[in-house]
Amino acid sequence: MTGEISVSEQIEAVRRKYDDLIGKEEYNLKTYDHNERQRQKILNKLYKLQESERTEIKGLERRASSVGVPGMRKDGWEHCPRCGSNRVKQKGKIDHAFALWMSGFVFILLGLIIWPLIIIGVLLFLISPIGFLGAKMNVCRDCKKQWIANKA
């Protein structure tokens, strides 16, 4: 055994941990006599514990899906392989074509001032449909790494 535990075991451990914490707070709420303010404080703490549990479990499931465990998103989105961030943006084929088209447009406008740039602008404008042939790309917003999106 490699010493690593599976995602389902990690999720079960998280659930056990939060069951204990929530159980203690519920016991405290039922057993002792509290005024309304203390009661509200305990209820808020219970709510925050439940939210923390859900968030932690979703994080484990998300991490598992980015590693290729069944359940990976079909659109190719995944966590950044360099820094592990979930702030990843997908660039599609339309983005590539639009960038070429806009570059051509800018060069045509600049060509009104410096006429040879019109030729470059027209060429970029004409080859902009080639952008649709490119692959989907994932781009990390934190470390700026770019990679081709995997197909599930």
**Structure confidence by residue, pLDDT tens digits, 84-126:** 778 888 888 899 899 999 999 999 999 999 999 999 999 998 9
- Print the domain residue range for 36: 7-66
Residue 21's nearest CA partner among 49, 54, 62, 52 is 49
Domain tally, the chain = 2
Which whole-number Å values give the CA distances from 71 to 28, 29, 81, 113, 140, in the listed order? 39, 39, 18, 54, 21
Same domain? 14 vs 57: yes
Across 114-126, b (16+ Cβ under 10 Å) vs e yields: eeebbebbeebbe
- Could you tell me if residue 87 is inside a domain? no
Q: What is the pLDDT of residue 2?
A: 43
Where residue 72 falls among pLDDT bands split at 50, 70, 90?
A: very low
Global pTM value: 0.45
Same domain? 11 vs 56: yes
Q: What is the pLDDT of residue 41?
A: 86
- Could you tell me if residue 125 is inside a domain? yes
Q: What is the dihedral of CA 131, 121, 103, 151, to 10 degrees?
A: 10
Q: What is the pLDDT of residue 61?
A: 73
Where residue 65 falls among pLDDT bands split at 50, 70, 90?
A: low
* Percent of the chain residues past pLDDT 70, beyond the cut: 84
- Could you tell me if residue 17 is inside a domain? yes
For range 17-43, the mean pLDDT: 83
Same domain? 100 vs 51: no
pLDDT tops 90 at residue 33: no
- Could you tell me if residue 142 is inside a domain? no
- Could you tell me if residue 107 is inside a domain? yes
Average confidence score pLDDT of the chain: 81
Same domain? 59 vs 101: no
pLDDT tops 80 at residue 136: yes
For range 70-95, the mean pLDDT: 75
- Could you tell me if residue 12 is inside a domain? yes
Same domain? 62 vs 98: no
Same domain? 62 vs 99: no
- Could you tell me if residue 18 is inside a domain? yes
Same domain? 12 vs 58: yes
